Structure 1
Amino acid sequence: MPELNLATYLSQTISSANWKNIGFKNRAGVLIPLFTVYSKDSYGIGDLGDLKLVVDWAKLTANSIIQLLPMNEQGGLFCPYDALSSFALEPAYICLKNFPAISGKRFNSSSTDINYVDYVLKAEKLKLLWDVYLAADLSEAHDFEEFQRQNAYWLLDFALFKILKEYHKQSPWYEWEDKFKHRDQAALKRFWQDNIEKITFQMWLQWILFQQFKEAAKYAADNNIFMKGDLPVLVSRDSADVWSHLEFFKLDFAAGAPPDMYASLGQRWGMPTYNWEAIARDNYRYIK
């Protein structure tokens, strides 16, 4: 039997369509956490505008792959693998240059230390974006309405979760008032009505993020740069996913790793494990 070369072998695997899209030639690439690549145009943390500059750099240096660490919104640990949502993007990555009214404004916190990210900047960024949101006329924003419709499965609960965390001074959901912790529908409806502006702002932020990310991905594709993502396999125990779909998680378990050369005692990450039987009963909608 003749020996298959690598390209022939890969073209016969279950992921053959993806390999054909990537191609079989030798490539070089770079792995980056976006928060580390900020430029003179950003504000102490990399943003989606800087991602285009990474594409330019990759092209100049003959790199053809950019792999990003998870872009999901981070929780209090500021770790890209400890996500508040498996769907929502990190609002600190919004590029302010797209908003002329606030582009060029300086922040009180403007760290230039390349070894650290000053996450106070995120709060200051969000204050400016809140002003942009309030000044925007969304009455004819049909794209925003369509975004909400297409992402209703996760977006509504996520936006509500964010404002409930704010209401409870960022405490984890399992320390909230019982009516919110246990998702009493009447209480949630009243809270939604009383906080509709803030909740809509959270959805608007995600709309802006998805637009800017798509624009950056198109820029990469137009320049023949393959952009590769990374997803956290698990989500934080204090996440919108867990709060809104308790049945999909085993909260009496915590994920980790056995002892190895890097951690002789093993690792305990703390994220809950999945209840795959419950996810299967819902036709795997959560992970599709």
Structure 2
Amino acid sequence: MPSPNLFEQRTAGILLHPTSLPGSESYWGDEQQNASGTFGKEAFNFVDFMAAAGLRVWQVLPLVPTEDNLSPYQSSSVHAGNPDLISLDDLAARGWIDKNNLQLDEKSRQGLAELRRRCAPSFFHYLNSDAGTETRQQFESFRQQEAFWLDDFALFVALGRRFNGSSWVDWPEALRKRESGALEQQKNELQDDINSVYFEQFSFYAQWLTLKNYANQKGVAIFGDIPIFVGHNSADVWAAQHYFSLEENGQALTVAGVPPDSFSESGQRWGNPHYRWDVMEQDGFQWWLARFGTQKKLFDIIRIDHFRGFHSVYEIPGKNEDAREGKWIKTPGDALLQASFDRYPDLKLVAENLGEITQEIEDLRLKFNLPGMLVLHFAFESDDNQLQPHHHTEHNIVYTGTHDNDTTVGWFKQMSDEDRERFEHYDFQSDAEMPWFLIDMALSSVAKLAIIPLQDFLALDSDSRMNMPGTPDKNWRWRFSWSQVDPGLAGAIKQRLEKYQRLSQPV
């Protein structure tokens, strides 16, 4: 089981999102390459691989529902799970659904969504059978415990389907403004679609928590990730509009982004509506406390993406097409973090402190003793860079790269001559070739936790990159296959962990 403090000993882990797991679901047949990884048998095989290698932390990306671009950082809910990760084969094996229904009419993401909808009636039939008594009790308990977000989310999804995927700001005014009579009418008319969402979310949580428990029993902690902002077209914004910076018609009054810099003359306009921090602070940050409560169920450790937003955020007028006319505003992150740790004393948070981070932001992180991130791909972009290993400190996490970086093989090939010269003059001794040279550098760091993307352990090139920020296509789709995993890889990793004293007791 995970220890009370992960950073009491030297450990190591892998970064791999579950969508990148190999495919093995029967209903995809020979077209597994079109599918997402799931919480099925391959996920358990991956945990076994980690345990055999002595790796104690599995870091994943947000497990939330995704839009067509598949980005887990723009979602329709901060509480719901991505139904694409559900293993229908596992549900059939549990007896929850009829295995004879597992036929994809169209082998696509849309076809899979339709298959889940077709499976929902057999699930409710099972719940009402003698065999389903225990599961029915679990389902009813889930409905009650998660009602604070689940009911709104289920109706939001059903309404989105009714209105052909349009944003909630374009729905009829009575629904946009959540008039009770209009909502009740839609609930009655859309009960089948709503039940389908209940089925998906119960199945997601049941499978993930089973997998998490298996990992914990094997000594592997689960390291999750939550984006600081939420999507405009989400159940969260629609259901709690008073917490967000919106106009009367629901359009965003101000949105998040970053100002112009050397990478973009017009800055970046992300489009997420800003929080009304004053309103959130008035009720003791109940919205955030509920969000952290959900994440604590799902993960042992939680990374806050864009942690600097707990100090200040860049605010752009919602009607502006780019970020040039934005401004920085202060946020009550200190009070929010204090309230969070008062409610959840055992909350384990990690701060994503990459990019241009001021001393004030670092002071906030250190005040709450939050580990930060040390990414070696960025360590040789300047002389005596603070990310170089001789500057590392224990209470941090060292990475070769992250999901937004190229693979280490690709990074090294494309390194500028100037950066390569700095890198080659850095006095680190290893007989290994890339990417193992950089893996050794990470594992040797004094940082208590080292995380290596699976692509680096597999020595994969740029075509296996997970995400290229700022590009619209081909992201979030990478998957590995067991044929890429050398039979001796787990042993080789374990030897390195022993060499660098990271072969710890289960955390």
TM-score with structure 2 setting the length = 0.49
Q: 1:127 to 1:195 in 2, by over 3 A?
A: closer
Taking only aligned residues, the RMSD between alpha carbons, in angstroms, comes to 2.3
Answer with 156-165 or 38-47: which moved more. 38-47
1:83 corresponds to which residue? 75
Structure 1 SS opposite 2:255:
coil
Q: Is the 8 A contact 1:97 1:104 kept in 2?
A: no
Which has the larger strand fraction? 2
Instruction: Give 3-state SS (helix, strand or coil) of 1:231's partner.
Output: strand
Residue 171 (1) aligns with residue 166 (2): yes
69, 74, 99: which is aligned to 2:66?
Answer: 74
Aligned with 1:92 (options 84, 87, 107): 84
Are 1:57 and 2:29 matched, yes or no?
A: no
8 Å CA contact 1:97, 1:103 repeated in 2: no
Q: Deviations over 1:103-155 (max 9, x none)?
A: 89453454xxxxxxx53353244244334335333485122111111111111
Alignment deviations for residues 189-239 of structure 1 (CA, whole Å, 9 cap, x no partner): 111122223212212221111111110100000101111111121111000
Alignment of 1:1-288 (within 5 A): 20-41=4-25, 43=28, 44-49=35-40, 50-98=42-90, 99-100=92-93, 101-102=98-99, 105-110=102-107, 118-138=108-128, 140=133, 141-250=136-245, 251-260=252-261, 263=264, 265-288=266-289
**What CA distance in whole angstroms lies between the structure 2 residues aligned with 1:279 and 1:123?**
35
Deviation per CA, 1:137-178: give whole Å up to 9, x if none: 348512211111111111111111110111101101001111
- Distance between the aligned counterparts of 1:130 and 1:175, measured in 2? 29
Where 1:254 maps in the other structure, the secondary structure is strand
Q: 1:63: how far off?
A: 2.0
Of structures 1 and 2, the larger Rg is shown by 2
Counterpart position of 1:10:
none
Asked whether the 8 Å contact 1:102–1:128 carries over to 2, the reply is no
Once residues 63 and 181 of structure 1 are traced to their aligned partners in structure 2, the CA distance between those partners, rounded to angstroms, is 48
- Contact kept in structure 2, 1:83 and 1:232, CA below 8 Å: no
Alpha-carbon distance in 1 for matches of 2:117, 2:148: 27
State the partner residue of 1:9: none
SS of 1:88's equivalent? coil
SS in 1 for 2:226: coil
Q: Which runs of 5+ in 1 are unaligned?
A: 1-17, 111-117
Residues 262, 62 of structure 1: alpha-carbon distance in 2 compared, 3 angstrom cutoff: farther
Offset of 1:180 from its aligned partner?
Answer: 1.0
Distance, in Å, in 1 between the alignment partners of 2:240 and 2:101 is 41
Offset of residue 25 of structure 1: 2.4
Q: Following the alignment from structure 2 to structure 1, what is the Cα–Cα distance between the partners of residues 265 and 70?
A: 25
The alpha-carbon deviation at position 256 of structure 1 amounts to: 1.2
- The alignment of Structure 1 onto Structure 2 pairs a total of residues equal to 264
Q: Which amino acid aligns with 1:146?
A: S
Q: Secondary structure at the match of 1:28?
A: strand
Aligned to 1:6: none
Do the aligned partners of residues 76 and 34 (structure 1) sit closer, same or farther apart at CA in structure 2, a change above 3 Å counting? Answer: same
Structure 1: distance between partners of 2:221 and 2:278: 35
Note closer, same or farther for the CA distance 1:262–1:192 as it changes in structure 2 (3 Å cut).
same
- Paired letter, 1:247: H
Q: Secondary structure at the match of 1:234?
A: coil
| 1:5 alignment counterpart | none
Between the aligned partners of 2:57 and 2:68, the Cα distance in structure 1 is: 30
Q: Aligned partners of 2:100, 2:280: CA distance in 1, in Å?
A: 44
Most deviating of 48-57 and 157-166: 48-57
Shift of 1:23: 4.2
Paired residue secondary structure (2:127): coil
Distance 2:15 2:257 in 1: 24
**Contact 1:133 1:201 (C-alpha < 8 Å) held by counterparts:** no
Distance in 2 of aligned mates of 1:55 and 1:230: 19
Counterpart Cα distance in 2 of 1:104 and 1:173 = 33
CA distance in 1, matches of 2:207, 2:126: 17
Aligned-partner SS, 1:39: coil
Q: CA deviation at 1:38?
A: 2.7
Give the aligned residue type for 1:29. G
The 3 A distance-change label for structure 1 pair 262 and 56 is farther
Residue 62 (structure 1) shift? 2.8
Larger CA deviation: 252-261 vs 237-246: 252-261
- Deviation by residue 1:74-116 (Cα, 9 ceiling, x = unmatched): 1343210001001000111111122143289453454xxxxxx
CA shift in 2, pair 1:32/1:259, >3 Å: farther
CA distance in 2, matches of 1:161, 1:66: 32
* More divergent stretch after superposition (141-150 vs 19-28): 19-28
Structure 2 letter corresponding to 1:22 = L
| TM-score after normalising by structure 1 | 0.83
> How many percent of aligned residue pairs carry the same amino acid?
27
Q: Distance in 2 between matches of 1:21 and 1:228?
A: 13
CA distance in 1, matches of 2:189, 2:103: 33
